[in-house]
Structure 1
């Protein structure tokens, strides 16, 4: 479970990350990362739409992603905001497959974000 202080909760925060953040797509999910220069803890949010499935399926995918995301938040730079958007293929994916996509997406988004700050 993500602690309350580590969650994105407002629509404006999600919109900012989706607009300004670096995107990295994978077969089962898309990672959006916005690195800000703030001394705050990293925060994250999930987007699991009806395209993924019915409410039971969406909640199952959300629970798996939250469980996978919690330990990875510590690896993000201070002030980072992260949005993980599940794609329809996430509904039939195992936790191991979701973890693989999440790790690859985070790594790629972090590389893109660090390159953008330097250049």
Structure 2
């Protein structure tokens, strides 16, 4: 599972990832990925300290009532957190935020299917390009 330290909980982090991140879609998920070094951050942000930057990647979930009742939404969220935990090694840079929005059809998916869709989203060209741009900025 994903530790609480690896979850996005602040609204400003959700907003920043949704606005500035790269968006890719799969059949049941909409995934926003934001390498933190691509966006200037607030100097007062605690993630700018050396301690917090090494704690990523971070995950945020959006599972609306359109997905189902509370039992179904929590089941989908648990499956997505487990999928994220298994795919953490696919991030070339740990200072990354990812927000996953579950579509209503995600309620009918099992854990391996959601995990494969998450990995598929991370392997898309737009996400790879975002990480490549980040590596270029780090090397300069």
Q: Fold-level match, TM-score > 0.5?
A: yes
For residues 21-40 of structure 1, the aligned pairs below 5 Å read 21-37=21-37, 39-40=53-54
What is the CA distance between 1:50 and its match in structure 2?
A: 0.6
2:9 maps to: 9
Structure 1 gap ranges (5+): none
What is the CA distance between 1:47 and its match in structure 2?
A: 0.7
What is the CA distance between 1:112 and its match in structure 2?
A: 3.6
1:99 maps to: 115
Mapped pair 1:61 → 2:80 = no
Rounded to whole Å, the distance in 2 between the matches of 1:23 and 1:46 is 14
Larger Rg computed on CA atoms: 2
Rounded to whole Å, the distance in 2 between the matches of 1:71 and 1:93 is 17
Structure 2 gap ranges (5+): 38-47
Rounded to whole Å, the distance in 2 between the matches of 1:9 and 1:52 is 20
Inter-CA distance 104–78: structure 2 relative to 1 (3 Å threshold): same
CA contact (8 A) 2:90 2:122 kept: no
Out of 19-28 and 63-72, give the one that drifted further: 63-72
What is the CA distance between 1:116 and its match in structure 2?
A: 4.8
2:42 maps to: none
What is the CA distance between 1:115 and its match in structure 2?
A: 5.0
CA contact (8 A) 1:43 1:73 kept: no
After TM superposition, what 4+ stretches of structure 1 lie above 4 angstroms from structure 2? 115-118
Q: Over aligned residues, Cα RMSD in angstroms?
A: 1.9
Rounded to whole Å, the distance in 2 between the matches of 1:112 and 1:56 is 37
Mapped pair 1:114 → 2:128 = no
* TM-score, L = length of structure 2: 0.77
